[in-house]
Each structure stands twice: as structure tokens, then as C-alpha cells.
Amino acid sequence: MAQIKDLLLQLFFSLMPFVLYSFYYRDRDTNYTKKFILITSMICLFLSMTFASSVEKGIQFDVRYVILFFALVFGGFRIGLLLMLEFVLYRLYLGGPGTSSAMGMMMVMFPLSVLLCSVYHRTSQKYLVAVMAGLCYSFFPLLLLYINRPDYILTHLTYHILIIPVHNSVGVLLLIYLFEKSATDKDMYLRYLQSEKIEAVGQVAASLVHEVRNPLTTVLGFLKLIRQDQAMPPEKLHRFIDISIEEVKRTEAILSEYLSMSKPLTQKREVIDLAHELEAVAEVMTPYATMNNVSLILHVPSEPVRLSANRAEMKQLLVNFVKNAVEACSAIQKGNVTLRMHTDGLLVKVHIRDNGIGMNKEQLRRLGSIYYSTKNTGTGLGLTYSYQVIRSMNGTVSVFSELHKGTEFTLSLPLASKDPDG
């Protein structure tokens, strides 16, 4: 039973580099480094030798060669050399009658490991080489020990032909297979992220060109007309110039939206009264709603509703939602937008409801995606920015909509923690 326990413990030590890799690199946007291989290998070698299995005092067996082979494969020759140095120093410190035999074995096994590592990198049958390495790590130490201590080997023959091969063969195969698969999957994931970034840049460029080209084409056309018609009446000339100025302003607004998306969200926050902010936004947006023949209705609590946020970002996202709601009602009669706020436990919920054109399932699914808009003249950046701000505050957005009946957005944001001194 004690030998089974030692076996399982050594197998655990042999798999520790994989376990540490899975834990440390799980949420990182980089893959393993040689420094990581060195540190984890040294830790695993130290633990393996400290809690080695043994059937006779002074003669220890562990997964040192498994860790060495792993370090050579994924870290290179220098990492393997440092690991061998660690083994030599620590084995001398541990001492015992098996020290000289252990040193002799390492002098043979290190160059063999380097050779097997070279074969591993050149062949497509990598796992076959790993199995061969495990068998070599079981056979050659057994042979060398038999030459020096045949009585010891014959006394503990079952241990050496069953336990030790499992130590090495299963350990090296599992470690190499699991680590290589995880590292390969991580590499594929990182390449996928990179390709997504490139695709996003392409989408930004294409969207920006599309958005800016139309107003610039309009301005260019009017400038050509002005140049061709030298005797153009002043009122017509002024009208053309006014239209051109409006198109230039539209281009500037589009560029400003793109620039706002490229800026990182600020970490500077303060405790604000969301009820007051929503009232201010409603006051600002009422003329715009009136211009679009839309009624703006506001229901907020009489007491302050405090949350931690950046005031400018919060105001901008509220304006974005209210503006979209107003524009959704602009094409119908008796359009109205209702803004309602209430607290729900540790959250404040803001409901923005309109009775406008509504959205279908496909539009709802894509809502908030970058550069997607339900409006012909929109870029979709306003809602994308708003979603980004809400997520940065650990908030959520839910939306319910029916075609030709209207839409309701519900913003759920965490309330500011109460001051214990207040």
C-alpha cells in the first residue's frame, strides 16, 4: 500500500508542470516562457526528490528523468543543464549510499535525454519517442544498479520491474501529451485572437471609409458646382456652402465617435446621484424629442440614488440610449419615451421604453455589436460604447422588443456601498 501511495505521489509531481501551466496561463494572452519551464521544473524536481519512493534507505527513486526530459523538450538545453545542476547539488545534500550510483546514472541519462529530445523535435511520432524515453529511464538505471548492486535488485525485483517503469513511462507520456496539447491549443487560441484583431481593424477601416465617403462626396460635388458656375446667385451659393458645412460637421461627428471607441475607459470614478443625472439628461434631450414629435416622460425617486461611476461616461451612455429611443419613435404618431428608475436590492434599474418601430430577433441578437446599427445613417458605436461602460461598472443590459410595438432597455447597475461613517 505504501508503494502505491508513493507511486501516485510521484505521478502527481510529474504532472505538476501541466497543472501549474493550466492554472497560470488560463486567462493570459501569452503562452509559456522558458522562465516558466525552468521555475516549474525546478520546483517539481525538488518535491519529487524530497518525497522520493524507496525500498532501501539511501537508494531513492523519483521522476527526476521525466522532469529533465520535459525541461529539455520545452525549455531547451540550457534549462536542462540548470536542472541537472540542481539535481547534483540536492542529491549531494541528501547523501546516502546511493549517491554515487545516482550521479553515475545522471551522467549517462543526461546525454541520452538530450538525444531523445533531438529525436522528439525531428519526428512526427512524438508520443512514441516519449514512450521510448520512459522505457529508457526505467531500463538503464535498472541495468546500472544491477551491475553495482545485483543483490539489491534481486531482493526488490518486483518493485523495479513494475513500480519504476510506471513512474517513468506513464509519467513522461502523460506530462508530454497533456502539456503539448494544452500549449498547442493555447497557441491556436492566441492566433485566433490575433486574426480577430486583424479582422476588427479591417472592419473599422471599411466602416470608416464607408461613413466618411458619403459626406465628402457631397462636399466635393458642391465645390465642383461652385467652381463651374462662376455666375451663381448668392442665395444658391450660400445654400451650397451651408450644406457643405453640415456635411463636414457630420464627418467630424463620425470621426469623434470612432475616436471615443479607441480611448480606454477612465478609472476615475466618484459617487454620483443617478436620479439627478437622469433628470439632467431628460432636460437636455427634451428639445430633441420635441423636434421629433416625441413626448419624453420621466419617473425618478425623490431620494438620491447613489452609485460609483464616471459622471461624463454615465451622462454620455444615458444620452445614447435616450437618443436612440427618440429616433425609434420619430416616424410614428404620438411617439413617447418613458424613463423610469427604481432600486432593487443592491442594484438600481433604469428602464428606457419607447413605442417606436421595435426590432426583430436578428436585430436584437446583434445589438451592441461593434459597428452594427439598426439605423441607415448610424455607425452603431454609440450603443457599443454604452455597453462597454456598463460592463466596466459590473452592470448588465437587458432588452425586450417587438416589431411595430416598441422597445424597452433595462440597465442594471450596482449601487455605491454605504459609508459606514454616514
Q: What is the pLDDT of residues 121-150, one digit of tens each?
A: 998 888 888 888 888 888 877 777 777 777
Rounded to 10 degrees, the C-alpha dihedral 266/388/263/352 comes to: -90
**Model confidence band, residue 369 (pLDDT cutoffs 50, 70, 90):** low
Distance separating alpha carbons of residues 178 and 407, to the nearest angstrom: 49
Architecture label for domain 270-414: 2-Layer Sandwich (3.30)
**Model confidence band, residue 43 (pLDDT cutoffs 50, 70, 90):** very high
Architecture label for domain 2-194: Orthogonal Bundle (1.10)
Domain ranges of the chain: 2-194, 202-262, 270-414
pTM for this model (two decimals): 0.53
Distance separating alpha carbons of residues 322 and 172, to the nearest angstrom: 61
Q: List, for residues 253-264, the tens digit of each pLDDT value.
A: 767 666 665 555
**Model confidence band, residue 193 (pLDDT cutoffs 50, 70, 90):** low
**By C-alpha distance, which of 162, 111, 131, 133 is closest to 3?**
162
Q: List, for residues 57-71, the tens digit of each pLDDT value.
A: 656 778 889 999 999
As a whole number, the mean pLDDT across the chain is 82
Q: List, for residues 79-93, the tens digit of each pLDDT value.
A: 999 999 999 999 888
**By C-alpha distance, which of 113, 129, 107 is closest to 41?**
113
Q: 37 burial class (0-12, 13-18, 19+ CB within 10 angstroms)?
A: buried
Please give the DSSP secondary-structure letter assigned to residue 206. H
Look at residue 422 and tell me whether its pLDDT is greater than 50. no
Average pLDDT over residues 29-43: 91
More reliable by pLDDT, 278 or 230 = 278
Contact by Cβ (8 Å): 57, 96: yes
Look at residue 421 and tell me whether its pLDDT is greater than 70. no
Q: In what order do the strands lie in the sheet with 406-414?
A: 294-299, 335-344, 347-354, 406-414, 396-402
Q: List, for residues 378-396, the tens digit of each pLDDT value.
A: 445 677 778 888 988 899 9
Q: What is the pLDDT of residue 220?
A: 82
Distance separating alpha carbons of residues 230 and 237, to the nearest angstrom: 10
Distance separating alpha carbons of residues 110 and 99, to the nearest angstrom: 16
Q: What is the pLDDT of residue 207?
A: 59
Is 202-262 a domain of CATH 1.10.287.130?
Answer: yes
- Geometric angle at alpha carbon 137, from 59 and 68, rounded to 5°: 90
**Model confidence band, residue 372 (pLDDT cutoffs 50, 70, 90):** very low
Please give the DSSP secondary-structure letter assigned to residue 168. I
